[in-house]
Chains A and B, each alone.
Chain A
Amino acid sequence: MKHIVLSIVTILMFSFSMNAQKTFYTKSGYIGFFSSTPLENIDARNNQVVSFIKTADGSLNFGLLVKSFKFKNALMEEHFNENYAESDKYPKAKFKGKILNLDEINFDKDGTYNADIEGKLTFHGVTNKIKLKNVKLTVSGDKLKGEATFTAKPEDYKIDIPSVVRGKIAKEITINVKIDYSIY
């Protein structure tokens, strides 16, 4: 009898938690990267970022096509794709990670939360563990807004920069993420 009750309670618990799982997604998120040196500024924007956040366990991911980064200068864009990011060889960049302080965030209550995220970023075929602090998550009804800023070094992703142009690219590149999520 005890076993039957326990099992029924377990089943009910699962079914309740499955209903409470919200998954957020977008197909048009924004990620841009920026490099500033006295010689040149580099500004690239990608507005076709795919991203999912699974609120039940705090797992999240980002995916984008490297060729979708747009530059104002077409030659810079071509050089980025052909010589630096080698986007024919490595067409996609991905991040897979999780929210570390999930218990501090209530996706059902409107407000702004600070999230700490940890995960693996893959770019140019190289995967590195990264930590993002002070990621801003803003809940308003069924919508979620995520904003994050972090830096990365080109050499961490085996990006080859010839010495002739080394002064034109910053040692640390600033990356901005701004995503408006909806319920999946």
Chain B
Amino acid sequence: MKKIIYLLSIFLSLIYSVSAQDIDELMDSELSVTKQYATATFKSTHIINSHSVAQLKKNHLNFIIYHRFGAVTGGISKFFGIDNANMRLGFEYGLNDWLTVGIGRSNYEKTYDGFLKARLLRQSKGGKFSSPVTITYLAASEIFTRPFNDPNRKNYFSSRISYVHQLMIARKFNEKFSLQLMPTVIHKNLVKTVTEMNDLPSVGIGGRYKITKRMALTFEYYKSIRLSNEKPDYHDPIGIGIDIETGGHVFQLVFSNSPLMQEGGFIYGANNDDFFKGDIHFGFNITRVFSFNR
């Protein structure tokens, strides 16, 4: 009888002491249930030429200057391509955290472009319904405004327009490495030759690998899916680059086989050169983010 009562007291005292640790376990389990979103999958809204899943936050404005020089194989007389420069100026604005709108102008064929980029799903873990990837959708349009080659021909305004639809599926594997797949469709109202396609599907892949706290290596490649029998001899776009982060700017140095910076140009490929023969275009992207939040 005595023994049972002693045992009971010990048992009760054990219950009392275990519950003192409970609050730490409770706190830990509450924290694990909170959803954590992947952040900074890509530091810049563009990888090399392509859009990345990175969105601007609400009321933030991104000012973009992109330069692509001529092929380095131009030699010293062309100063390794720097004599011949293509440029795109653009603005991107975060309407809210998941929707970015943008406009731009490239000197090549005096092309204006505009786009909407919407994030549909965000990579997360914990909580309900976590997702392994971030999915973003791009809808863009380009209009070239240089005069038509033959003014005597009946030229339509609609011939100037191209459309781009792209789905970006990205995953941040760890703090160093992010990868993105982008199935894309480009539609050109008017194409130059019979062998070119008005609709060109392609699949792109791009990624970023962080080498120091503020520097990363980037790459990009698209495989175009040309189904017609007569395929024009265009080179698929490929590029590598280095991202350098400095305060409010991201400075990207790029080496691309394309001198053009909008999807209808570099993905479509009519102006792309042979990367592996050395016809590489050096270029850079400078971006500056401004916040309009009070």
Contacts and interface: CB of A to CB of B under 8 A. Distances in A.
Interface of A: 3-4, 7-8, 10-11, 14-15, 17-18, 21, 23, 25, 27, 48, 50-54, 56-57, 59-65, 67-68, 72-75, 78, 81-83, 86-89, 91-92, 94, 96, 165, 184
A13 B184 CA distance: 73
Interface bracket on B: 35 or more
Interface string B262-294: 000000000000000000000000000101011
A118 to B, nearest CB: 16
A72 B16 contact: no
Given A14-B13, A74-B57, A67 B27 contact: no
Given A23-B23, A51-B27, A59-B23, 6 more contacts: A11-B9, A21-B19, A62-B27, A72-B291, A72-B293, A72-B294
Interface stretch (B33-41, B153-161, B201-209, B232-240): B33-41
A74 B214 contact: no
21 contacts: A3-B5, A7-B6, A8-B5, A17-B16, A18-B15, A25-B23, A25-B26, A54-B23, A56-B20, A57-B20, A61-B27, A63-B27, A63-B30, A63-B31, A65-B31, A65-B36, A67-B39, A74-B56, A74-B291, A78-B40, A88-B175
A69 to B, nearest CB: 12
A10 B214 CA distance: 63
B5 A88 contact: no
B8 A7 contact: yes
Interface string B1-21: 110011011001101100110
A94 B27 contact: yes
Nearest 3 pairs of A and B residues by beta carbon = A74-B57, A7-B5, A52-B23
Nearest to B94: A74
Judged by DSSP, the binding face of A is mixed
B9 A48 contact: no
B147 interface: no
A21 B40 CA distance: 44
B151 interface: no
Contacts, number: 103
B28 interface: yes
A74 B12 CA distance: 53
Contacts of B40: 78, 81-82
B60 interface: yes
A17 B291 CA distance: 55
A91 B26 contact: no
Contacts of A88: 174-175
A21 B19 CA distance: 10
B75 interface: no
Contacts of A52: 23, 26-27
A57 B28 CA distance: 19
Given A52-B23, A57-B20, A81-B40, A63 B28 contact: yes
A65 B15 CA distance: 31
A75 B291 contact: yes
Contacts of A65: 31, 34, 36
A8 B289 CA distance: 72
B213 interface: yes
B210 to A, nearest CB: 9
Contacts of A82: 39-40, 43, 175, 213
B2 A3 contact: yes
B20 A54 contact: yes
B37 A67 contact: yes
B150 interface: no
Nearest to A87: B39
B293 A75 contact: no
A51 B26 CA distance: 9
Given A23-B23, A72-B293, A88-B175, A4 B36 contact: no
B79 to A, nearest CB: 33
